[in-house]
Copies of this chain bind each other. A is one copy, B any other.
Amino acid sequence: MIKQIHHINFIVRDLDAAIERYRALFGAPISAPETLPQRGVKLARFRLSGIWLVLVQPLDPSGQPAQYLEKHGEGFFLMSCQVDNVRKAAQQASAQGINVLDSEPRQGLDDWQVMDLDPDDLFGATIQLVESHE
């Protein structure tokens, strides 16, 4: 059901500083910062061999990304895995005993439709399902 890694998110406190450092390390052009208001974050991204790497800075202290940052500190935030149909994939995960945190897909960047799996059922890793047809 899971085809490939679609994007990996890193949570940071200072997006501009992180952009500069990641650009230096990866030698890749990084997008201008974007905001995702429904998620309470700003972010910038680049592609590495077909996979999006996304730097995320929380803006809304009550949002889930800010809470994650508070609890875990900076670093890896989530790995999003591409599926053909996110609702069906979530049902399959649920049938395997993995709790799905979203009852409906959330709109991410571009055409990304995402649903989060419960890290408590995946040994602490935040793994997300994403449907994207672009």
Shortest CB-to-CB span from A39 to chain B, Å, is 19
Tell me the complex Cα distance, A123–B119, Å: 22
Give the residues in chain B near A97, CB-CB below 8 Å: 21, 24
Can you offer 25 A-B residue contacts whose CB atoms are under 8 A?
A2-B25, A2-B26, A3-B49, A5-B48, A10-B125, A13-B123, A14-B123, A17-B123, A18-B123, A21-B96, A21-B98, A24-B97, A24-B98, A25-B98, A25-B117, A25-B122, A48-B81, A72-B75, A74-B124, A74-B125, A75-B123, A75-B124, A75-B126, A76-B76, A76-B126
- The size of the chain A interface, using a CB distance under 8 A, is 43
A1 located at the interface, meaning its Cβ lies under 8 Å from any Cβ of chain B in the complex: yes
Chain A positions near chain B (C-beta within 8 angstroms): 1-5, 8, 10-14, 17-18, 21-22, 24-27, 48-49, 51, 55, 72-76, 79, 81, 93, 96-98, 117, 119, 121-127
CB of B119 within 8 A of CB of A75, answer yes
